[in-house]
Structure formats: structure tokens, C-alpha cells
Amino acid sequence: MHCSSEGPLYSLEDCPEMSLMPRLFGSRKPASVESARVSHVATATPDSARPLRVQVYREAYVTFESGYRRKGVVMDFTGTGLRIRFPTNERLPDVVTVNARSVGIEGEADVVWQKNTEAGLRLRG
């Protein structure tokens, strides 16, 4: 049996095939939530664990303790460190000297991570 209606709207009671829908999917949810059921209200806060990074594409040099110097590109930086990309996958030592005057960074840095041609450096001091 198909539901038919004289007008464009009809109720579930008029159509026996549709009476199964509320039993399958339940009734509508209440418009508001009881305050007794709320244990914690979540609010959006900015992620303060990581400082804001400045996206750049500037030339930099990294010097090893032995005096060997590599040219790279600073991809982004913060007040505490930078991400630098090199043309090759050479491994960096644990401590290097960074010279990236175009972004105002000079001094010793610890190599925190290295993946393929990119490295993350934490500035000392």
C-alpha cells in the first residue's frame, strides 16, 4: 500500500508504512540540554603550547664545529627556533652555528629533529 494524500502534507498516522520510522530512529531531541547533565563546558582557546611561526623563504648558512658550512633556506621560524631546508640529505651534528641575517637569527642552535632535507633547530640562549 502506498501513502496518498489529498494535499502536499500528510501525517505519519495517515501512512502505516511510515509509522516504523520513529521506532527505528527515535523521536526528535529536545531543544535544550538539562543543565544537571552538563559536567564540563568546553570553550575554544588558542593553542598556546607552540608559538606562532613566521613563514619565510630566506637564505641561511649552518656551520659545523669543524668549520664545514652548508647553505640552506629558512622555511619558518619563531623566537626560539627555526625550520631549515637543505639541497641534500646530509646529516647534521647535534650542535651547529646558524647565520640567517635576513630573518635576524644568528648564534648556536641544537638540532632537535632532521627528516630528509629539512631540520628543526632550537636556538640557544
113 part of a folded domain: yes
Instruction: Give the Å distances, CA to CA, from 111 to 21, 60, 72, 85.
Output: 61, 15, 14, 13
| 98: Cβ contacts below 8 Å, ≥ 6 apart | 60, 61, 62, 82, 84, 105, 106, 107, 108, 109, 121, 123
CATH number (domain holding residue 90): 2.40.10.220
For the residues 116-125, what does the mean pLDDT come to? 95
114 part of a folded domain: yes
Q: What is the pLDDT of residue 1?
A: 47
For the residues 8-36, what does the mean pLDDT come to? 60
Residues spanned by the domain of 87:
54-123
43 part of a folded domain: no
Q: Read off the pLDDT of residues 85-114 as tens digits, 9 standing for 90 and up.
A: 999 999 999 999 999 999 999 999 999 999
Question: What is the number of structural domains in the chain?
Answer: 1
Q: Read off the pLDDT of residues 64-84 as tens digits, 9 standing for 90 and up.
A: 999 999 999 999 999 999 999
39 part of a folded domain: no
7 part of a folded domain: no
110 part of a folded domain: yes
Instruction: Tell me which of 8-17, 49-58, 65-74, 82-91 is least confident.
Output: 8-17
24 part of a folded domain: no
